[in-house]
Structure 1
């Protein structure tokens, strides 16, 4: 579908939102004040943060980790930065994102943290229906936007956390490209593109929580599938765990568990080889109660591991687990082709 041109209009002048504020009325007043009265076919993009504020979705900011845990379905990856632990999780709200979307920025003069709506699509529908009833319009899209990072890309971008009245996906599979070649996998995430376009005028620190996207063909008369339909989890999720977490999970140490805390969490900063070796050893020995690993230094200065076990079978198991655990830490190990039945020495190198 060809779009001749879009206009993105920021809605400035919206006051700090508090619980039970009439958000639809404030949005309509801001549109009027900015000469941007809503018309049929518009898509209104609203920061999910102001929706959460109007709903009073606050949690105690003194222990943010408790709020994150309460909003987490499963942990995907976790890293520490000093004393702070950051987790990428599947949030109760739907998306996979850092800290389940629990946020301490742009929270006014409060020290509490703000939570995402539990059902963002329902909140988008509720806002849209109120706006339609108030204005008499018949075709209006509403997108609740939030911010997150993406696999394989630096930086953050806005995406559709919730949506109503928007064709969230433009599925081009089964069609052809400009050269007539079949399209087999292309499906545009339109709702995310609308959220990102609005963010170009909303900004992150400008106190502009909403924008109107005008000229788009993607506003529809019915509520639509909602943004949760864009969340990819289960068998179709190629990023179900971080690289290190996938390795550790295979060895019985999944992220977000006491076992993961026991063996240690990787840092976001570059770490000494000794720290990474220590974590790998702790992971490898979790299922091998009668084995041991002494960490020393080879003549070349590389870490050297002397592995002992009660039986040749257990020795082989521990060595295999060490190889996998070290690989997850970005390290490799030289295993001698022949070794005694009760002990073996392994030299660790950078992979």
Structure 2
């Protein structure tokens, strides 16, 4: 899909679909990929993990409907994963798909991961401080994630508001960036917001808050019916405990039930509450991005809406001859 015009090398094309959990990104991405001859790259920081299907709302083979998906089930639950690694995997994929004449679609809700690709963050500018990171990890062991999270409040209120305290590795990363560069994580990211290497369209899906929260609550009920507790117990019994993967919403609440800290009903209600709060944080992240084109998914005719979005994308990414 990358082309040459009068000897000028054109940027690689890219479509990105973002929005909060349960808004309908998966379905929209698959339908658009079918219409636009695309393949999907997961922009979800959790669907990379094997054996973690229900709690991550991982797309099924049936739902894929023949559309190729990348970056799903590529890591063991005990392995770490970082935004820099995501960037290193995704950027060559975008190049490969463009060379094959396919439109790459990044679909997901992990804002930092997606921004690292479309804004081409240079992670070498804030290289790791291993000693500081180890010190902070010891701090978590001796205290708790809430106290670590509180350290962000004064130096980086934006990251404090958008990073969940249980995602302590992201909290440590924000503290580490400040220590290394003197900039907050948000300032550091903004300083790298140079021209994107891609000819991209960033689509955001939104929905009435009450409708979205009802969808989130129902999704959790369906996950429980599908065997979320059993999935979490298998991971717990297999020794997947102090790992990045199970700090995520959908597992940490069930782990508290397994360890006798919550009743089953309390764990379910906490999972629903945390999921709603996560959706709000996702909105906060993406609403601050001026280049997101928003489409309301509340009580829509799906076929009409997808046609509207398809026409918008084609108008932005292609000239008439390219979409015949």
Same fold at TM > 0.5:
no
Q: Higher strand share goes to which structure?
A: 1
Q: Which fold has the larger relative contact order, with Cα–Cα distance below 8 Å and residues 6 or more apart in sequence?
A: 2
Structure 1 or 2, whichever has the larger Rg, is 1
Q: Higher helix share goes to which structure?
A: 2
